[in-house]
Structure 1
């Protein structure tokens, strides 16, 4: 009987492992990735741009965590209107506490019934007084795991938001800046000459952060707790250190 029981237990253990592997593989196959979800809702993150490579790299492993996420820009200036990112993040992150900053107050009010599962703050991302009020109110229940700047894309907006909102990113958290091609567009305060010009743009700011990382200096305010800078076409992700 002892031998039969041992065989039975071994069979049960093997069957359990087999079923776990099958269901785990089935789940990974059927779960939609970021690009699939984003295309469903029409966001230009995966149509005009190819940000799915950055987001898959950093977010796929934490998408089932309880996360607090801020995106700057509700999409009011897009021809397809607001909501594409809203629905994308809600589906991609099933346990997200979602926040938005939007400059266009009339648009935010008009679509408030379509964004009931997000906290929408109206204000200018380059206005430090607004950012101070936002930071106090929005972080009453904790800092942000992820901040995404898909707002106005001007140099002043991108750099001001980064410097001010970096402090409300959790240790180990992520700050993503989209549409960095505007650093080369004069109409957005950029410079077509890039680094060969003395004019500071968001891209030259990011280059300075890389310099700080490489030589161990804190020339920029956020460098003292910056872990990494990772860039792909038109997008960069900054990781904050876990411990200082």
Structure 2
């Protein structure tokens, strides 16, 4: 049976980035996701997200880009409500036509600015069941994701930090996680997911944090 996320990607012709570029190589607008093109994440995410599939869940995505990964979550998690953040205004207008506009909020902002988390809490005061970090993929921003947004992770929720650039970076993220969880109530655990064998891609590494209170 075909992977459900791959089916969604094919339905909307979203496999790989398609777009215009300026002379420096910067995207000027486009379409697509790298979840099944450059990266080999789809099998993992189907398994990891199936427990949320028929539940009313809240989802935060840091680094929405063209919006095509948001379409994946929108269709795969039909009862989800999403907050989508990106520092660049690159979300394709087609996303508003494809997705139920009552189920997502899009904000053009720097998710890693220290003032943004309070604004996020105002928009979603009940926190999030799923958090995706798909931003700059620097250790600094990934550690800030943990520091700023782990306090918003609900019980039985999961945070996925994608595209960790090196297995060595896992140690720094582990340290940030250990320090942050000490300031929080609840029971948290982490996992280092190595998917480099799927596409032979150096950064198919995901740092996963779960909260399961006793």
The bucket for the TM-score relative to the shorter chain is 0.7 to 0.9
Matched-pair contact (CA < 8 Å) for 1:229–1:237: yes
1:145-167 CA-partner distances (Å, limit 9, x unpaired): 10001112122211111111001
Where structure 1 has 5 or more consecutive residues not aligned to the other structure, the ranges are 1-28, 76-81, 185-193, 196-200, 210-217
Q: In the alignment, what sits opposite 1:187? A: none
Instruction: Report how many residues are paired.
Output: 180
Which aligned pairs between 1:56-67 and structure 2 lie closer than 5 A? Answer: 56-67=46-57
Per the TM alignment, residue 62 of structure 1 is displaced from its structure 2 partner at its CA by 2.3
Higher helix share: 1
Q: In the alignment, what sits opposite 1:55? A: 45
In 2, the alpha carbon distance for the partners of 1:219 and 1:83 equals: 32
In 2, the alpha carbon distance for the partners of 1:39 and 1:155 equals: 32
- Asked if 1:228 is matched to 2:190, the reply is yes
Which aligned pairs between 1:1-244 and structure 2 lie closer than 5 A? Answer: 33-41=4-12, 42=14, 43-75=33-65, 82-104=66-88, 106-108=89-91, 113-114=96-97, 116=101, 117-135=103-121, 137-140=122-125, 142-181=126-165, 184=166, 195=168, 201=169, 203-208=170-175, 219-222=178-181, 225-233=187-195, 234-243=205-214
In 1, the alpha carbon distance for the partners of 2:44 and 2:192 equals: 9
Q: TM-score, normalised by structure 1?
A: 0.64
Give the 3-state SS of the residue equivalent to 2:53 in structure 1. Answer: coil
In 2, the alpha carbon distance for the partners of 1:207 and 1:219 equals: 6
Q: Which has the larger radius of gyration?
A: 1
In 2, the alpha carbon distance for the partners of 1:231 and 1:167 equals: 22
Matched-pair contact (CA < 8 Å) for 1:230–1:238: no
Between the two structures, name the one with larger relative contact order (CA 8 Å, sep ≥ 6).
2
Q: TM-score, normalised by structure 2?
A: 0.72
Matched-pair contact (CA < 8 Å) for 1:108–1:122: no
